[in-house]
Amino acid sequence: MAISIFDLFKIGIGPSSSHTVGPMKAAQQFVEQLKSDGRLSQVARVKSEMFGSLGATGVGHGTPKAVLLGLEGELPESVVVADIGARVAGIREQGQINLAACHKVVYQDETDLILNRRKELPFHSNGMQFSAYAEDGSLIEERCFYSVGGGFVVGEDEAGNDAIIEDSRELALPFSTGAELLAICQQKNLRISDVMWANEEAWRPTFETRNYLHNIWRTMQECIDNGIAAEGILPGGLKVSRRAGQLYQQLLQRPEASLSDPLTVLDWVSLYALAVNEENAAGGRIVTAPTNGAAGIVPAVLNYYRQFVPGANDDGVERFLLTAAAVGILYKKNASISGAEVGCQGEVGSACSMAAAGLAEVLGATPEQVENAAEIAMEHNLGLTCDPIGGLVQVPCIERNAMASVKAIHAARMAIRGDGSHFVSLDKVIKTMRDTGRDMQAKYKETARGGLAINVVEVPVNIVEC
């Protein structure tokens, strides 16, 4: 499976890559296939069913609205965020949906969008089934999709394979394990980011990759700014207040604190992460990195590099993201980045590991030290459950991103102080994370049926769709 940095870092919308971005893409693929086959005009009704974690926590994650927009032909990277609420309300009020933006059919929530809270499809807990019917009720087309984390969507045939084949093209310097990546760096005398530069050539010229990286970074910065500027209560029913703006004002009012307390820099890092994940929880424009639930970690650590590391420059931004993507590819290939599959260790843990590696790279670490940084970061996220209160990507998700951002910086600094040799390899910790996820009870894997999701009883939760 060849994976590009374009796959790991994608511009989309909140609050969830697997529950919002994935379903929107799957719904869009379903109607676009009908359109390309010339059968869309025969459709009188489309039924969408969500299974497993999508059914259990879909409302809090905005899955219904994502499906409706996808059926109308929208994609996460291009949908106008400000129009989403009115668009969805219009579909429900009018009882009509415009498939692929060109064919209107009747629509009713009660019969056409089903959230199966206890049923699952084979292969993955984030399953979906779309069925298109003719006027006489006969079935025209039926397809199953799986949202496997990070906005990746696969069909039923692909999900049945041991390895999902996303792209079979040949890379200049292919690697599937951390050991293979380190061997390439040693043999070719390359940095990890150099290996990624060479491999990205299989998809596009270097200047296009460079432009994309800077667009990703620009979107991350805009997300931080938007999160700081916004105020009020996050949607969904928990009545969680935005804190980024208030923290920002506190930090601005006490610039002298940095002189007496050198750890003030960590408050800034926390601010960046909180700002991004509050935007994500509000359904704003974010970068999936590698998931939405963990979207604040890479931007926070990268902004730490840009703001607080002497000599930081655009080349460093590129190398940071390329190295982070290299580590993300290892998790995607050999384990999972889906909270519904392996718990939050697959989301926040993977993002923490990626950010630690990226920071180590731009701080001048050797490939062995970069691998060590990634390993340290994940080793101390092993077993992290996904137990969002009310199924919303808010508590504990927002603060968890801030904590993991600080942890990533610490992991990078620890690794650089060593010589790169260490007891546990990155490959071993990735395997351990995968095995731990398989052993984890389903109630701790994005179903909101365990942990904090059921034990914070003093909070009356009346969840509404984000």
Distance (Å, whole) CA 447 – CA 441: 10
Of the candidates 321, 332, 262, the one whose C-alpha atom is nearest the C-alpha of residue 291 is 332
pLDDT of the residue at 466: 60
Paired tokens of 114: 């089903």
DSSP-derived 3-state class of residue 47: strand
pTM over 0.75: yes
Cα–Cα distances in angstroms (integers) from residue 36 to residues 33, 56, 102, in the given order: 5, 33, 12
pLDDT of the residue at 462: 52
pLDDT (tens digit per residue) in 202-224: 999 999 999 999 999 999 999 99
pLDDT of the residue at 14: 94
Q: How many CB atoms lie within 10 A of CB 412?
A: 29
**Order of all β-strands in the sheet with 153-155:** 113-115, 45-52, 126-133, 139-147, 153-155
Bridge-partner residues for 58, per DSSP?
Answer: none
Distance (Å, whole) CA 212 – CA 220: 12
pLDDT (tens digit per residue) in 350-371: 999 999 999 999 999 999 999 9
Vertex 55: Cα angle to 51 and 60 (nearest 5)? 155
The parts of the chain modelled with pLDDT lower than 50 are: 162-165, 459-460
Close Cβ partners of 212 (under 8 Å, ≥ 6 residues apart): 5, 6
Residue count (the chain): 466
